[in-house]
Structure 1
């Protein structure tokens, strides 16, 4: 894949916003994109006030920060978007996006639907938007429970939020998203995602 070219001869690559409920497989699809095209993408590392899960590294999976610090930086205007999710704050800083864009690659933003709406409505970034859906609500719950990292209370809360996010995504529909992809088969979902990336990001207008 190659980037589009600006009139000044530099590269300007449209960011990719991937939205979908927890457990739908966004992370796996992003990893597959990066693995198959290691020089074309960069991941915008979000900030969160929640504790790391087993195996998660600070600065790699998330920037894990104290709630008071993140609240202050939000007040200082350092965040492109932020949202309260599962009693914690998640957000994307301008610096996180700039760090990726400065390398001339496509910046991937894995954010929730609230954040995607904030980004799009702000008009500050021209992005491609993709919504990843589960085959069904029961299948999504099965995947979340299969992680083995969530308490019953956490699973219940995530399922409540997932249902709302799916309903909102369906309501926004194709008027908002460049593609809505049902992740019932990983390889098929990946091919559909890759098609969107080629058409909307790496094909010159």
Structure 2
């Protein structure tokens, strides 16, 4: 008797979708940088937002990869044309998040990760609410946050206390985010962050390929 042929798994069709701007914020020591690095390493569909800067490139830096390097005149033109979500002066140079470049990529389905504080989050959300997903990472306790900052062994007690004061101020803005995740275990926290990202990608309004797909289903 012949053995039954293996059944090929039914795969969901790959539908076109609009990209999103995924924001991770947290007080210093709560794990934002670690989670951002894990997400970039494990998810090929998302990349870190690349800023525009008037700073000259350093050895090894590539235009469009590390920064979009622009002259002062080009930066001025972008400001005049309202082509920044936000921009600021930093150590004698200007840095900004380019609106036109990101919007064009979002249309093609590219996701962007933003590792920014609550003020940058607020500015970004005011400019483009439909594409922004805001996630705030909380420590399990103030005591644990203090312990993590101390364990770095790189800062003086005065600096640590200053960071703790700033952390309390940042935590007070938790309710300005769509999702809040407590980082008591980095792997579990990362899993929850991935769940948020996966769910947001499946939102009906982001799946631009659904309309022609459903029309084809109904016509068949």
TM over 0.5: yes
**Structure 2: segments with no counterpart, 5+ residues:** 1-12, 54-60, 206-220
TM-score, structure 2 normalization: 0.63
Secondary structure of residue in 1 paired with 2:172: helix
Deviation at 1:183?
0.3
1:168 aligns with 2:145: no
1:200 aligns with 2:200: yes
Q: Kindly tell me: are residues 12 and 117 of structure 1, through their superposed partners in 2, closer, same or farther at Cα, counting changes over 3 Å? A: same
Q: Kindly tell me: are residues 91 and 131 of structure 1, through their superposed partners in 2, closer, same or farther at Cα, counting changes over 3 Å? A: farther
1:13 aligns with 2:16: no
Q: 2 CA distance for matches of 1:113 and 1:91?
A: 16
RMSD: 4.0
1:36 aligns with 2:42: yes
**Structure 1: segments with no counterpart, 5+ residues:** 6-10, 49-56
Q: Is the 8 A contact 2:19 2:108 kept in 1?
A: no
Which 10-residue stretch deviates more, 15-24 or 102-111?
Answer: 102-111
Deviation at 1:58?
9.9
Deviation at 1:153?
3.4
Q: 2 CA distance for matches of 1:153 and 1:72?
A: 39
Q: Kindly tell me: are residues 96 and 183 of structure 1, through their superposed partners in 2, closer, same or farther at Cα, counting changes over 3 Å? A: farther
Residue by residue, what CA displacement relative to the aligned partner does 1:174-205 show, whole Å, maximum 9, x if unpaired?
A: xx433100000111111111111111124444
Q: Is the 8 A contact 2:19 2:131 kept in 1?
A: no
Aligned to 1:143: 148
Q: 2 CA distance for matches of 1:194 and 1:104?
A: 17
What does 1:1-205 align with in structure 2 at a 5 Å threshold?
5=16, 11-38=17-44, 40-45=45-50, 79-81=84-86, 92-94=97-99, 97=102, 101=106, 104-123=109-128, 126-169=131-174, 172=175, 176-205=176-205
Q: How many residues align?
A: 182
TM-score, structure 1 normalization: 0.67
**Looking at CA atoms only, which structure, 1 or 2, has the larger radius of gyration?**
2
